[in-house]
Amino acid sequence: MIFHIAKKEIKEIGRSNAFLWIVGIVAILGCLSVFISHNQYQTKQEQHEFAREGERARWLGQGSKNPHSSAHYGTYAFKPLFALSLVDPGVEKFTGVSVFLEAHARNEAEQIAAADQTGLSRFGDITPDFILLFIIPLIIIVLSHQTVTREKQDNTIRLIKMQGVGNFQFIIGKWLGNYIPVFLLTTLLFLIFTVTIAIIDSSFDWRFIIAMNAVYLIYYAIITCITVSVSALSKNAGISLVSLLAVWIVSTLAIPKIASSYTNAEYPYPSRQQFQTAVAEDKQKGIDGHDPWSEASRKLAEETLETYQVASLEELPFNFDAYRMQKGEEHEAQVYFKHYENLKEVYQQQTQVYQKLAVLSPFLPVRFLSMSIAKTDYSTHWNFTDAAEKHRIEMQRVLNTNFAENSKLGEWDYQADASLLAEIPEFKFESADFGETVQANGSNFFILGLWSLASVGFLFIASKRL
């Protein structure tokens, strides 16, 4: 009987003009969002490749040059574009796409898209994730809010129960009948996403988009459970609709905003000025590669002379100026590591608070999972900036070592062969694979599972009170 009830519900939904209009609107919005996202992705990809190739050519085109001058000349590390950013751009427009790698400084990511947008951009972009996260749950509410109240108001529920249908069977049938159209609509949208991604990236790991599809299907199953339950507990369709719209507003708008405000207040980041001041103070406590007269530099000179058993720096088998600059780079790298680890600790603390607050709304774990699977979350950005810093440190080591081993003290006119520049490989960033992504989101999957169980329990309670 469950499938008969579901079949009847699907037929009634299919006959509804509202459903046909909604499907048409969602299909148009879905295609439009994919078209816009695809064009933006293609444009960004072309710009990325042009900038990457041009920057590599600029770096290699320096010719014979003093290695430390090349270190100050610098180069850029570019964050690669990920195919699923077409579906969920996440925080990409707020984090920057390139980092300038130079001597003595760890720079922030540049080219932040949000900085170039007008005030109108705060009203949101038409992206697939907006449709998936906000529009489809609203569609579920509009279509299903009267699924049980209609039967009660028309007194047809008594006829159904006279056929020997239990309350829970009836509720499950209603849930299934309302979920199947949403399942088909979501699958259609992800089929469009899959085809589009296949065109732009033939090497894509399809487990990611399958996982994202599964996450959203579970999300919609939860929303459908809540909608059917509220419909079963409401006296009429009007009360059911108002109640569900209130739930939608609170869960998708209010709770995420409250969670964000509370988290930022509880674990605030230091201001840029505070951060830069703290870094500058710690830098002064160690070696400055360009200041041979500082206490730290003089101490390093004394220790080096003692180690090599020579009377003067000129007698060392290497250029002490370059050696001192490398030691300065190592000290500064430790300073940057310390302070960026402090920033990451704040991020981890905020993430833990978000994960705890995710029990208040299924929207939060789905939001975090979607961005993480698409590789457009803050964790991926942190990993990118860390990888860029490791590349910068290695670049300085290669250049300073060459300078030290092939010149003597004071030989600032030394020029390394142009082949030295090619010894520094082009920056490559390897993002987390599928297994690492799943493991990192264990808490979000667990909370989503709890919401699934809770929504089924709510459905069972509603059937008892039917």
pLDDT in tens, 22-67: 778 888 888 888 888 888 888 888 988 999 999 999 999 998 999 9
3-state DSSP assignment of residue 327: helix
Angle at 25 between CA 23 and CA 30, to 5 degrees: 90
Q: Is the pLDDT of residue 226 over 90?
A: yes
pLDDT tens track for 352-376: 888 888 889 999 999 999 999 999 9
Which pLDDT score, from 0 to 100, does residue 411 have? 86
Whether the Cβ atoms of residue 173 and residue 10 lie closer than 8 Å to each other: no
User: What SS3 state is found at 65?
Assistant: strand
Encoding tokens for residue 12?
Answer: 């009634």
State mean pLDDT over 62-76: 92
Average pLDDT over residues 76-89: 92
Q: pLDDT confidence of 390, banded at 50, 70, 90?
A: very high
Contacts of 166 (CB under 8 A, 6+ apart): none
Q: Which of 245, 258, 325, 336 is nearest to 289 (CA)?
A: 325
pLDDT the model gives residue 124? 55
> How far is Cα 349 from Cα 336, in angstroms, rounded to an integer?
20
Among 139, 140, 125, which residue's Cα sits nearest to residue 86?
A: 125
* Residue in the structure block whose two tokens are 């409401």: 234
Which residue would you say has higher pLDDT here, 156 or 394?
394
Sign of the dihedral through C-alpha 397, 398, 404, 405: positive
Q: Is the pLDDT of residue 117 over 60?
A: no
Where helices occur in 111-200 by DSSP H, the ranges are 128-130, 136-144, 149-153, 156-162, 167-200
What CA–CA distances, in Å, run from 64 to 52, 67, 80, 426, 432? 22, 9, 30, 19, 38
Confidence class for position 453, pLDDT limits 50, 70, 90: very high
Domain extents for the chain? 2-464
Beta-bridge partner residues of 77:
99
In this structure, the number of other CB atoms found within 10 A of the CB of residue 72 comes to 12
For residues 238-264, average pLDDT? 91
Contact partners, residue 361, CB within 8 Å, separation at least 6: 250, 251, 252, 255, 256
The model's confidence at residue 387, banded by pLDDT at 50, 70 and 90, is very high
pLDDT at 212: 96
pLDDT of residue 113: 60
The answer to whether residue 279 scores a pLDDT higher than 70 is yes
pLDDT at 120: 47
Range of lowest pLDDT (153-167, 171-185, 211-225, 371-385): 153-167
pLDDT at 12: 77
Q: Which of 47-51, 117-121, 307-311, 393-397 has the lowest mean pLDDT?
A: 117-121
CB-based contact 413:182 (threshold 8 Å): no
Strand order in the sheet with 75-78: 75-78, 98-102, 105-110
Q: Residue 273 corresponds to which tokens in the numbers above?
A: 């000025």
Q: Which CB contacts under 8 angstroms, 24+ apart, belong to 7-12?
A: 7/177, 8/177, 9/147, 9/173, 9/174, 9/176, 9/177, 9/178, 10/177, 10/180, 10/181
Q: Please state the φ and ψ torsions of residue 416, each to the nearest 5 degrees.
A: -85, 155
Predicted pLDDT of residue 114: 53
Examine the pLDDT at 450 and tell me if it is beyond 60.
yes
Q: What size, in residues, is the chain?
A: 466
The overall longest dimension of the chain from CA atoms, in Å, is 106
Of 213-222, 427-436, 457-466, give the lowest mean pLDDT range: 457-466
| Residues 6 or more apart whose Cβ sits within 8 Å of residue 325 | 68, 103, 289, 290, 400, 403
Q: How many CA atoms lie within 13 A of 159 on its CB side?
A: 7
Q: Whole-number mean pLDDT of the chain?
A: 88
Q: Which of 113-117, 294-298, 428-432 has the lowest mean pLDDT?
A: 113-117
Of 398, 444, 441, the C-alpha closest to 420 is: 398
Looking up tokens 């072309």, which residue turns up? 46
156-185 average pLDDT score: 84
Phi, then psi, of 76 in degrees rounded to 5: -115, 145
pLDDT digits (tens, 9 = 90+) for 133-147: 999 999 999 888 888
Q: Which of 131-140, 155-164, 454-463 has the lowest mean pLDDT?
A: 155-164
Question: Which residue(s) pair with 75 in the sheet?
Answer: 101
CA quadruple 416, 418, 423, 426: dihedral, nearest 10? 130
Structure confidence at residue 203 (pLDDT): 82
